[in-house]
Structure 1
Amino acid sequence: MITRKYSQLRWASHIMTVSAPPAMLVAFVQIALLSIGAAHCRAQESGDVRSATVTETLRRDIQFLASEELRGRSITDETIDVARDYLRERMESIGLELDSVAGGPFQRVEIPVGSEVRNESGNVCRIQIADQPVVDAGLGEGFGPLGIGSDKHSVSAPVVFAGYGITSKTHDYDDYQSIDARGSIVMLLRKEPGASDPDSPFDGVKNTRHAYFATKVLNAIEHGAVAVLIVNDPDSTREAVQKVQNRIDQEQRRKEGLVEMLSNLPQQAVKNRAATAEKIAGTERMIVAMQAELESARRGVLGIADAGTKSKQSEKIPVASIARDLADRMLRAGADASLEELETQINQTFRPASRALDSVTVSLSVDLKPAIAVSDNVIGRLPGKGLLANQTLVIGAHYDHVGMGGFASMAPGTIAVHNGADDNASGTATMLACGAELKRRLEGVDSHRTILLIGFTGEERGLLGSQRYVEAPVRPIENTTTMINLDMVGRLRDNELTVYGTGSASELERVVDTVNREFQFNLFKVASGYGPSDHQSFYRVGVPVLFFFTGLHNDYHRPSDDFDKIDFGNLTRVTDMVSGVAFRLAVLPQRPIYAETDPKVQIRRQMTAYLGIRISEQNGVVKITEVTDGSPASKAGLQIDDQIQRIGRQAIRTSGDVLSWVRAHEPGDSFEIEVRRNASTVTLRGKLEKRS
């Protein structure tokens, strides 16, 4: 058997030996105010020999799930089914039983995703320009309803051009100052003046709230608009075209692969040949549909969901996207200027160029309905044995993510694959690896609980997959003894592993601590069973939970959450830790007893900021014992033996207070620290720096 030792953690300058008296808690804040004991370093150095196949399996699973080809695993993209089928195949390879849901592994989940077309002919924009022939723009013909507005509405009114549709006292800018929009259909430009200009009063480098669709629509309503027509900007238009073209190219490659596969199948493989031929035909239909989508994208027409979902305010009026060429036609007739000329004028002068289009009238109709996406939970079962077999232990992880951006993305306006390597390919891969390990370890055990591995869908839309499961469990929920949730476990930092739910039942904290004696993580234990991940669905129906988590980071819900940032050495350690906990919970003679916990939970972030002090805590006094040369603390004038009284508005009574404050702040944030120095109170100021 190929063997390996756990990868030695890259402590670099973070490693410090704690040599304080037993009564004193010492924390070293070299980069992010965290201490790591020498005993742990020695244990980590010696390691625990494990099979290299665990790491390689984790690597293979995450590499596939976080690949560009899966386009971020959105539940609105067909690639979510590719990820689903991958989970099924992996569970089958582990040897799990796949018949828990009507003889199969898939549990259907219906997920609300905004709006979709109810009646194609009910969505049309009729443009009348003076005595020119009427222009009828329908779906796929230069017009598209947007889900941010009313689902069903018809209106006919004159048109006013309101530039970017912004009213901002802060920026001394008001697109409505010189026009009366009451009773009119308002035509608006997407984004804001100087969107890529660092000298723009609207920042330019990143969007302000005035660039958001919702802000524009609400402002139009406040000014009396009866409908809104959005005109896409050139940069977003090019990005949308590239996005669709990339998908077409990808499907073309998929088709070519299927054609090659079909040519290599023997003639006698009738069923396989028929199934492959149907996949080829389906891919061809998809390519044709995407080519029509490409033409709309070239004209700048947005998709129904591209402006977000409606609110009680925005649903009062219809909102739609109009092709750039049609917008240009209306502006040339009613404003004696082209669309490009007006965009350039506003972007260069940062002054409005709004005007009524006196010769233009538009009749607008939208007809939408709530849209439902269908996706599946994937369930594999390891049957129990003996007296415990009728009880169930669930190990779960969500496999969906946020796709190409948009909904739930932390990079607004970005159209790019949000790979979700940590969120949550890491948890999904760990779940699978734990399943394989448990199957191996439980083979020689006479009595253990039935184990369900569940890949949840719809987590990013509000825990919908796990909620569906607890509403329709495949095994009695009252016999489910514990649920272990794995979400973002691939980027351990400072050896700090967070475990939520340790107070959700008796025995859980003891089990976690016992297993951790081997792995020596710095555990941050949170008693509460609540929190924004799938374990909460189980806890709310009376199931004790444990949620393993390595912390939020700056790549969360961004395209930069990539495969190459996963720490596979430590992910293997986390996997083995979870496997050890799950094994104990599978064989524990007495089931854990559910306990109520505090529902107020703050999700823990990884530290990104650097202060540069070592501190000690004794008898309620937090004292600085070391200041790193050149650090923000040193630059601010902090000294050894200073007693920290306050940071910002937060009173400091423990070293944990200091850790929590730094964790909640970013590099570049200013700080004000009040310290007791000799007999005086001194206030010092500085700026946090980026942690290396």
Structure 2
Amino acid sequence: MNPVDSRSRGETSTRLSIAAVVFAFGMLSAQATLLRDAVGQEASNSGGTTEALRQDVQYLASEELRGRSVTDETIQLAAKYVADRMRSIGLQTDQIAGTPFQSVDVPVGSEVGSQDRNFCRIQLADEETIEAQLGDGFGPLAIGKENAKASGRLVFAGYGITSAEHDYDDYDGVNAEGAVVMILRKEPGISDPDSPFDGVKNTRHAFFATKIANAISHGAVAVLLVNDPASVREATQDQTNRIAQEQQRREGLVQLLENLPEEAVKNRAATQEKIDRIDQLIQSMRLDLLTAQRGVLGLSDAGRQTKQTDAIPVASLARDLADRILSSSGSGLESLEDKIDQTFRPASRDLESVTATVSVDLKPSVATSDNVIGVLPGKGSLADQTLVVGAHYDHVGMGGFGSLAPGTIAVHNGADDNASGTAAMLGCAGELVPRLKSVASHRTVMFIAFTAEERGLVGSQWYVQNPVRPLGNTAAMINLDMVGRLRDNELTVYGTGTADGLESLVDAANERFGFKLYKVASGYGPSDHQSFYRAKVPVLFFFTGLHNDYHRPSDDFDKIDFGDLTRLTDMVSDVAFQLATRPQRPRYAETEKRVQIRRQMTAFLGVQISQRDGSVRITGVTPDGPASKAGLQIGDQIQRLGEKEMRTTADVLSWVRNHSPGDRFEIKVMRNATELTLRGELEKRSN
């Protein structure tokens, strides 16, 4: 994940400035703009690729489609649109009983049932009753039993951990048999390297499933989970950042509206509609902020139900309510947390004369949705072989499952994820149909819009298990997922090591387009190409990076860069053309399974750094930047950022890349043989 040249062995002394990198990326982007304009003009001359991309994304990411969830009937409108576009391009759409639709059964987990049957009622010793309702201090969790109501004594069992390895047992001295158990998230000393647990990273005892299974083994009839302060702060800051981002976006639209002439009636109406949508979104996000501040987890935040956790109801309880309950029987929540974290000894207790009733009403369901398939038939000696070009067209609907805006009920438009990839797939089809007409021999090219990727690659796995054309004759698969928001001219291509010749093919294609390529050999990763790679099919996955709007209502049409999306579509078309026509079939190769998905850099630290002999030193500090405000100085040797040890410049860039503006940081440095710990806050990176 190092975007600079790093000759890291021995005497690496590459000067690296995050501010300078921004400038350098800006220069690359300027060069890329020239290339993009040239390619865009070419595309315009050959059928209007850019306009087609714009229309496809605009429809797929429209309010009308309500986020294209497999649980919403609007997914059928999206499927019909894609099928109609395939036909208009000239693809055959009769592969499944005369239709383009391959029906897929999609397990969609749990959904909230009746609001009246989702609640928690606590009867305190002084006969005071605390009522926690759905959306007001209480949230059912899909990891537990789906339909259940349980009552019993209330027991506080600390972190809910039993570990002989760590000589620690939260259930020692309390009787959880027949009780409702209240437990804390994570584990003692989660950020303390002296913790008897790991302290720097979670052990298995911090996992939700481990805690719930342990509660069940001790006889609990229900579990109430209480979120930890660090996670609450992180969720709160994340939501605050998103609100600020949308407010900034609104200000830009208001300014645009003020500058539009009165006679531009349609443009003014469209801009006002966007402003109104953002107002609604901000209002919803502010409600989410209150939920985040109280620490209530979303339905799927603790994971899905397993055989070890499905015996009892499990729910999330707001921290303020947990504090009221615990304070009524002695020490409050924070006091108990501090005691455990400082002593690394349990502070569990039976809450005398306190009883609880926990009611959860969830419903499992299976949705039926369609993969949409269009075929460009092959010719000549290669016709029996298949090249698949795919992209998923589903998203996360109005929120809930898969959303990173917990509790939000708003359209998650999914313009980048993955209207952009679906549009690029259609754009690629539109370019290949005329290009392959004059070719005497080429592979059959199958274009597939997959459903249910957001539910765990279900659509692509279904296809692999039920292929329309023999999987053994499938030469390669190209996947397009989140390709509409190129930044710093960085294009990530996964799978370059999954077959001999793929990396050189991508490099050769890029000579025309000038992307700054970040190549990953592995064919694994959380998108549809993985389904094919596991079936021994070589893959390439094109991706422009995660961003702060990922799986949130703010992933909107107006944030897509259609010039760069056109350029990317043209490059993928070139790669697909080569894979369709080369006589030699790509030879599958094994690759590393562990893959880190690349994130766009949005945060700014404000240092220049150099690397030498396994250490990273600060060689420059941006005036009034986050590092300067934190007290960092030239000559400081960076030892640790947060919980991660820093040994290379790549470590520093990776850490910054995986954080957001507004995130607080703790940095340990060595200054003149003295170790210092400094703190600050990352700022928004300029474009």
Superposition TM-score tier, normalisation by shorter sequence: 0.5 to 0.7
Q: Give the partner amino acid of 1:73.
A: R
Identify the residue that residue 77 of structure 1 maps to in structure 2: 72
Distance 1:227 1:31, change over 3 A: same
Candidates 466, 484, 492, aligned match of 1:490? 484
Identify the residue that residue 232 of structure 2 maps to in structure 1: none
Greater alpha carbon shift after TM alignment, 613-622 vs 625-634: 613-622
Identify the residue that residue 240 of structure 1 maps to in structure 2: none
Residue by residue over 1:172-191, the C-alpha shift from the partner in whole angstroms, topping out at 9 and shown as x without a partner, is xxxx9xx999647x799xxx
Cα drift, residue 32 of structure 1: 6.4
Matched, 1:29 2:23: no
Quick one: distance in 1 between partners of 2:146 and 2:304?
A: 11
Task: For 1:354-369, list aligned pairs within 5 A.
Answer: none
Identify the residue that residue 272 of structure 1 maps to in structure 2: none
Tell me the matched-pair count: 526
Distance 1:567 1:484, change over 3 A: same
Identify the residue that residue 123 of structure 2 maps to in structure 1: none
Say if 1:638 and 1:684, in contact at 8 Å, map to a contact too: no
Residue by residue over 1:352-377, the C-alpha shift from the partner in whole angstroms, topping out at 9 and shown as x without a partner, is 9x99799x999x999x9853221111
Residue by residue over 1:326-355, the C-alpha shift from the partner in whole angstroms, topping out at 9 and shown as x without a partner, is xxxxxxxxxxxxxxxx99988999979x99
Greater alpha carbon shift after TM alignment, 386-395 vs 618-627: 618-627
Q: Give the partner amino acid of 2:653.
A: L
Quick one: distance in 1 between partners of 2:31 and 2:543?
A: 24
Candidates 44, 65, 68, aligned match of 2:33? 44
Matched, 1:461 2:455: yes
Identify the residue that residue 237 of structure 1 maps to in structure 2: none
Cα drift, residue 668 of structure 1: 2.4
Q: Give the partner amino acid of 1:50.
A: E
Quick one: distance in 2 between partners of 1:379 and 1:421?
A: 21
Quick one: distance in 2 between partners of 1:429 and 1:613?
A: 39
Q: Give the partner amino acid of 2:680.
A: K
Q: Give the partner amino acid of 2:557.
A: F
Residue by residue over 1:440-478, the C-alpha shift from the partner in whole angstroms, topping out at 9 and shown as x without a partner, is 222222222111111111111111111111111111212
SS in 1 for 2:369: strand
Q: Give the partner amino acid of 1:62.
A: V
Task: For 1:140-539, list aligned pairs within 5 A.
Answer: 149-150=144-145, 183=178, 226=221, 309-317=304-312, 371-539=365-533
Identify the residue that residue 87 of structure 2 maps to in structure 1: 92
Q: Give the partner amino acid of 2:475.
A: T
Say if 1:670 and 1:687, in contact at 8 Å, map to a contact too: yes
Identify the residue that residue 96 of structure 2 maps to in structure 1: 101
Identify the residue that residue 561 of structure 1 maps to in structure 2: 555
Candidates 670, 680, 683, aligned match of 1:687? 680
Q: Give the partner amino acid of 1:441.
A: R
Say if 2:390 and 2:478, in contact at 8 Å, map to a contact too: yes
Candidates 529, 534, 543, aligned match of 2:537? 543
Quick one: distance in 2 between partners of 1:469 and 1:584?
A: 24
Quick one: distance in 2 between partners of 1:39 and 1:510?
A: 22
Distance 1:228 1:45, change over 3 A: closer
Say if 1:31 and 1:609, in contact at 8 Å, map to a contact too: no
Distance 1:304 1:506, change over 3 A: closer
Identify the residue that residue 54 of structure 2 maps to in structure 1: 59
Say if 1:610 and 1:688, in contact at 8 Å, map to a contact too: no
Distance 1:223 1:476, change over 3 A: closer
Say if 1:106 and 1:376, in contact at 8 Å, map to a contact too: yes
Distance 1:465 1:657, change over 3 A: same
Cα drift, residue 317 of structure 1: 3.2
Quick one: distance in 1 between partners of 2:27 and 2:109?
A: 53
Cα drift, residue 213 of structure 1: 11
Q: Give the partner amino acid of 1:669.
A: F
Quick one: distance in 2 between partners of 1:36 and 1:421?
A: 24
Q: Give the partner amino acid of 1:604.
A: R
Q: Give the partner amino acid of 2:42.
A: R
Say if 2:668 and 2:675, in contact at 8 Å, map to a contact too: no
Quick one: distance in 2 between partners of 1:75 and 1:214?
A: 27
Cα drift, residue 415 of structure 1: 2.2
Cα drift, residue 37 of structure 1: 8.3
Cα drift, residue 584 of structure 1: 1.8
Say if 1:483 and 1:546, in contact at 8 Å, map to a contact too: yes
Say if 1:395 and 1:485, in contact at 8 Å, map to a contact too: yes
Distance 1:503 1:62, change over 3 A: same
Greater alpha carbon shift after TM alignment, 109-118 vs 73-82: 109-118
Identify the residue that residue 671 of structure 1 maps to in structure 2: 667
Greater alpha carbon shift after TM alignment, 421-430 vs 42-51: 42-51
Q: Give the partner amino acid of 1:114.
A: G
Identify the residue that residue 580 of structure 1 maps to in structure 2: 574
Identify the residue that residue 597 of structure 1 maps to in structure 2: 591
TM-score normalised by the chain length of structure 1 = 0.64
Distance 1:603 1:343, change over 3 A: closer
Listed as ranges, the gaps of 5+ residues in structure 1 are 1-15, 17-22, 126-144, 170-175, 189-211, 231-302, 322-341
Q: Give the partner amino acid of 1:500.
A: Y
SS in 1 for 2:54: helix
Say if 1:34 and 1:659, in contact at 8 Å, map to a contact too: no
TM-score normalised by the chain length of structure 2 = 0.64
Greater alpha carbon shift after TM alignment, 427-436 vs 621-630: 621-630
Residue by residue over 1:651-683, the C-alpha shift from the partner in whole angstroms, topping out at 9 and shown as x without a partner, is 434x433322322334422223447x8xx7886
Distance 1:481 1:355, change over 3 A: same
Q: Give the partner amino acid of 2:520.
A: V
Distance 1:428 1:674, change over 3 A: farther
Quick one: distance in 1 between partners of 2:674 and 2:499?
A: 45
Greater alpha carbon shift after TM alignment, 386-395 vs 597-606: 386-395
Quick one: distance in 1 between partners of 2:582 and 2:83?
A: 29
Quick one: distance in 1 between partners of 2:157 and 2:63?
A: 36
Q: Give the partner amino acid of 2:19.
A: Q
Cα drift, residue 539 of structure 1: 0.8
Quick one: distance in 2 between partners of 1:83 and 1:509?
A: 34
Quick one: distance in 1 between partners of 2:432 and 2:441?
A: 13
Matched, 1:609 2:603: yes
SS in 2 for 1:316: coil
Cα drift, residue 44 of structure 1: 3.3
SS in 2 for 1:60: helix
Listed as ranges, the gaps of 5+ residues in structure 2 are 5-11, 120-139, 161-170, 183-206, 226-297, 334-350
Cα drift, residue 622 of structure 1: 6.4
Residue by residue over 1:216-273, the C-alpha shift from the partner in whole angstroms, topping out at 9 and shown as x without a partner, is 988986896646999xxxxxxxxxxxxxxxxxxxxxxxxxxxxxxxxxxxxxxxxxxx
SS in 2 for 1:101: coil
Quick one: distance in 1 between partners of 2:224 and 2:327?
A: 23
RMSD: 5.2
Q: Give the partner amino acid of 2:441.
A: S
SS in 2 for 1:50: helix
SS in 2 for 1:509: helix
Quick one: distance in 1 between partners of 2:34 and 2:392?
A: 33
Say if 2:146 and 2:360, in contact at 8 Å, map to a contact too: no
Quick one: distance in 1 between partners of 2:556 and 2:628?
A: 35
Quick one: distance in 2 between partners of 1:619 and 1:343?
A: 50
SS in 1 for 2:573: helix
Cα drift, residue 310 of structure 1: 2.8
Structure (1 or 2) with the larger CA radius of gyration:
1
Say if 1:519 and 1:573, in contact at 8 Å, map to a contact too: yes
Say if 1:501 and 1:528, in contact at 8 Å, map to a contact too: yes
Cα drift, residue 631 of structure 1: 2.2
